[in-house]
């Protein structure tokens, strides 16, 4: 059938008949909110917190970019449980997450280009993970269906 909605397993739905978010979606959110997670870990470790932040973000400007670009993912953690109450917000949030990922990817690629990108680095690994996450957000059929209104 050409235009029919994809079919999913009954296990993919919760007890209310709502399509569950795929496990990999949570991994994408963690990847996007990595600066927020590091910030919380640094706050929880009090004495070593400043050293932890300095280790991953020697340039404080990059830390603030990471906080800004991770904000949509951090907010997604909060609103995903209420996606049925805010369907319009939830429907567009996939595109907000994709735009944030694209901005982070472009920033990482620029940073790699400015450094010369001669040796493998954590920045290169994160850029590759960002590419995979962006592809997942844009092309995974089940994830797309999770962002559609229930009647569609």
**With a threshold of 0.75, does the pTM exceed it?**
yes
For residue 7, being part of any structural domain is answered with no
- Give the mean model confidence (pLDDT) for residues 64-81: 94
For residue 106, being part of any structural domain is answered with yes
For residue 122, being part of any structural domain is answered with yes
Q: How many domains does the chain have?
A: 1
Q: Does residue 152 carry a pLDDT above 50?
A: no
For residue 11, being part of any structural domain is answered with no
For residue 125, being part of any structural domain is answered with yes
121: its two tokens: 């680095």
Domain span at residue 140 reads 19-146
For residue 13, being part of any structural domain is answered with no
């Amino acid at each position: 059938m050409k235009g029919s909605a994809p079919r999913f397993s009954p296990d993919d739905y919760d007890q209310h008949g709502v399509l569950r978010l795929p496990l990999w979606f949570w991994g994408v959110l963690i990847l996007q909110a990595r600066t927020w997670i590091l910030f919380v870990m640094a706050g929880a470790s009090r004495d070593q917190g400043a050293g932890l932040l300095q280790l991953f973000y020697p340039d404080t400007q990059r830390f603030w970019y990471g906080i800004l670009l991770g904000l949509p993912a951090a907010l997604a953690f909060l609103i995903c449980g209420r996606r049925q109450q805010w369907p319009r917000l939830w429907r567009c949030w996939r595109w907000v997450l994709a735009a944030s990922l694209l901005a982070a990817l472009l920033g990482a690629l620029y940073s790699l280009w400015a450094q010369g990108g001669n040796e493998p680095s954590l920045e290169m690994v994160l850029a590759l993970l960002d590419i995979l996450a962006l592809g997942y957000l844009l092309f995974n059929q089940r994830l797309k269906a999770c962002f559609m209104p229930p009647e569609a």
